[in-house]
């Protein structure tokens, strides 16, 4: 990675071809802390930690823009203008509006706070790599961290969180940074047919609609007219669920995540009451491709190595909890299809486009019957120590309503925890239309495994 001077004026970090396949939005998280420390002291700690993080890893202080003299039209890079910690970090005092203990007793509901109050101004700053807002509530802090999705995926966001947390607790975060964080070499060469038609999850816009020509801030999975709920799967229930989904002797191994997704897909389909006229439903999952490449990429690489499964398609009558094992196996096979050969072919397809700005994810429309998920479960947010002012994270939440048919799997809550996180297990947030969500609440098969929050 190139080094930057004090303002990063000469620093350019070219994004990899597949970085351009992520939506041109910020991925944001609400991070809840329980603290009674003085807000000014917390703000100083955060600002100092952010300044040190930018100094150690200048990418997070930069902007995403078109790269001059790029090898492919539309190539993006992190470059100037660069921003200081004071410019990146904003604050809002909501101590008279929200109370941490009240929110905690209600299990951090998705509508605990008004989103527009706690999220930094993304639309007016859509090219910035990082925006952070400290929202002070009575007895706590809601830290909103938003990172540009073309620069990082979920694994990359967690590496940035680790960096910021290390400086908050007084450690030298620069010791975390390795060349592997930004080594795009394995992602620069494709192999295979490279036909975009073989990858229907991406669309090729017209030249006039290219992001190279039109700089627009996109929404991807935010929707209106839907209702969201938090479902909690305790560890014990997850074990029972996995056994139920593997009841067939000699069945191929499935993961706990496969079983969980199969149950949610089946239950949501039943709750929608689609009827016989709707022929099939499709389930898409975002998969981390790092370990699926040959040789594997470093788990600490921050850029985008995520791909959407496209093979989970089942007839509506088959999506019954009685067929949970078949549904879980269908999901497992779609995950296994994301292999080195397919990834290299996707890279070849991206490189083969005349203007990379014409490429875009197709967005998400459930059409009232499809389901899709993204997972943060593999990132150990709840083990991070943020120092004496903040301690450890008490909850993560998605900072907006979810479109109909989207669900987010939150980080696993560790068992036998001693800092007040509660019972070990996994939470998800799901968005459905209001009638469908009410029917889902009454699903006896689902309620064998979940607690509603």
Residues 272-297 have pLDDT tens digits of 999 878 899 999 999 999 999 999 99
pLDDT at residue 6, as a whole number: 39
Residue 327: closest CA among 402, 401, 251: 251
* Euclidean distance between CA atoms 30 and 135, whole angstroms: 10
Give the C-alpha distances (Å, rounded to integers) separating 286 from 13, 279, 373, 390, 430.
Answer: 25, 24, 7, 31, 15
pLDDT at residue 266, as a whole number: 97
Detail the DSSP E strand segments found in 25-100. Answer: 26-34, 63-66, 76-79, 89-93
Token digits of residue 318: 């088959």
Q: Which residues contact 376 (CB under 8 A, 6 or more apart)?
A: 154, 396, 408, 409, 410, 411
Is the predicted pLDDT of residue 251 greater than 80, yes or no?
A: no
Is the predicted pLDDT of residue 56 greater than 70, yes or no?
A: yes
* 11 touches 62 (CB < 8 A): yes
Is the predicted pLDDT of residue 217 greater than 60, yes or no?
A: no
pLDDT at residue 9, as a whole number: 56
pLDDT-derived band at 362, boundaries 50, 70, 90: confident
Token digits of residue 220: 């991807």
pLDDT-derived band at 215, boundaries 50, 70, 90: low
- DSSP, collapsed to helix, strand or coil, labels residue 259 as helix
- Name the percent of the chain lying above pLDDT 90: 85
pLDDT at residue 250, as a whole number: 56
Is the predicted pLDDT of residue 174 greater than 60, yes or no?
A: yes
Mean pLDDT of the chain: 93
Which is it for strands 425-432 and 406-409: parallel, antiparallel or unpaired?
A: antiparallel
pLDDT at residue 224, as a whole number: 54
Is the predicted pLDDT of residue 231 greater than 90, yes or no?
A: yes
Residues 292-341 have pLDDT tens digits of 999 999 999 999 999 999 999 999 999 999 999 999 999 999 999 999 99
Residue 30: closest CA among 376, 331, 312: 376
pLDDT-derived band at 214, boundaries 50, 70, 90: low
Q: Domain segments of the chain: what residues?
A: 13-191, 227-452
The CATH code of the domain at 13-191 is: 3.30.559.10
Place of tokens 């680790």: 162
Which of 362 and 94 is assigned the larger pLDDT?
94
Give the C-alpha distances (Å, rounded to integers) separating 407 from 127, 166, 286, 309.
Answer: 27, 30, 11, 15
CATH fold for the domain made of 227-452? Chloramphenicol Acetyltransferase (3.30.559)
Residues 430-449 have pLDDT tens digits of 999 999 999 999 999 999 99
Residue 263: closest CA among 237, 241, 248: 241
Diameter of the chain measured on Cα atoms? 64
How many CB atoms within 10 Å of residue 189? 11
* Euclidean distance between CA atoms 339 and 307, whole angstroms: 10
Predicted TM-score of the model (pTM): 0.94
Is the predicted pLDDT of residue 223 greater than 60, yes or no?
A: no
pLDDT at residue 252, as a whole number: 82
How many CB atoms within 10 Å of residue 66? 15
Is the predicted pLDDT of residue 175 greater than 90, yes or no?
A: yes
* Euclidean distance between CA atoms 71 and 408, whole angstroms: 36
Is the predicted pLDDT of residue 198 greater than 50, yes or no?
A: yes
Give the C-alpha distances (Å, rounded to integers) separating 263 from 95, 391, 448.
Answer: 39, 35, 11
Dihedral, CA of residue 416, residue 109, residue 220 and residue 193, to nearest 10: 20
The average pLDDT across 147-157 equals 97
- DSSP, collapsed to helix, strand or coil, labels residue 44 as helix
Is the predicted pLDDT of residue 420 greater than 50, yes or no?
A: yes
Is the predicted pLDDT of residue 15 greater than 80, yes or no?
A: yes
Please confirm whether the linkage preceding 256 is cis (ω < 30° from 0). no
pLDDT at residue 3, as a whole number: 38
């Amino acid at each position: 990675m190139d080094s930057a001077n004090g303002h990063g004026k000469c620093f350019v970090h070219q994004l990899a071809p597949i970085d351009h396949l992520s939506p041109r939005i910020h991925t944001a998280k609400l991070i809840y802390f329980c603290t009674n420390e003085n807000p000014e002291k917390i703000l100083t700690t955060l600002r100092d930690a952010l300044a040190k993080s930018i100094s150690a890893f200048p990418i997070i202080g930069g902007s995403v823009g078109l790269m001059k003299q790029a090898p492919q039209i539309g190539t993006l890079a992190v470059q100037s203008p660069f921003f200081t910690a004071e410019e990146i970090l904003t604050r809002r005092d909501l101590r008279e509006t929200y109370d941490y203990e009240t929110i905690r007793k209600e299990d951090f509901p998705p509508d605990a706070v008004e989103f527009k109050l706690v999220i930094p101004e993304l639309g007016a700053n859509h090219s910035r790599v990082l925006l952070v807002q400290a929202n002070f509530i009575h007895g706590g802090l809601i830290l909103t961290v938003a990172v540009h999705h073309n620069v990082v995926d979920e694994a990359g966001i967690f590496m940035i969180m680790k960096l910021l947390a290390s400086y908050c607790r007084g450690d030298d975060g620069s010791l975390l940074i390795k060349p592997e964080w930004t080594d795009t070499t394995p992602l620069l060469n494709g192999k295979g047919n490279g036909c975009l038609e073989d990858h229907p999850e991406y669309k090729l816009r017209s030249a006039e609609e290219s992001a190279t020509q039109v700089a627009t801030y996109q929404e991807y999975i935010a929707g209106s007219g839907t209702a969201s709920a938090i479902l909690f799967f305790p560890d014990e229930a997850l074990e029972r669920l996995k056994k139920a989904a593997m009841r067939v002797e000699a069945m191929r191994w499935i993961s706990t995540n496969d079983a969980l997704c199969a149950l949610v897909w089946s239950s949501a389909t039943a709750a929608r009451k689609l009827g016989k006229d709707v022929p099939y439903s499709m389930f898409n999952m975002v998969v981390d491709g790092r370990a699926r490449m040959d040789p594997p990429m470093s788990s600490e690489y921050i850029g985008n190595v995520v791909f959407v499964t496209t093979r989970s398609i089942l007839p509506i009558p088959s999506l019954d909890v009685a067929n949970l094992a078949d549904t879980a196996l269908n999901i497992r096979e779609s995950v296994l299809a994301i292999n080195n050969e397919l990834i290299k072919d996707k890279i070849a397809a991206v490189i083969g486009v005349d203007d990379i700005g014409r490429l875009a994810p197709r967005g998400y429309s459930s059409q009232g019957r499809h389901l899709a998920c993204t997972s943060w479960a593999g990132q150990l947010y709840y083990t991070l120590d943020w120092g004496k002012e903040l301690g450890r994270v008490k909850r993560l939440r998605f900072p907006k309503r979810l479109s109909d048919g989207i669900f987010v799997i939150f980080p696993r809550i560790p068992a036998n925890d001693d800092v007040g996180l509660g019972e070990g297990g996994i939470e998800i947030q799901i968005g459905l239309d209001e009638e469908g969500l009410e029917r889902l609440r009454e699903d006896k098969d689902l309620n064998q495994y979940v607690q509603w929050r």
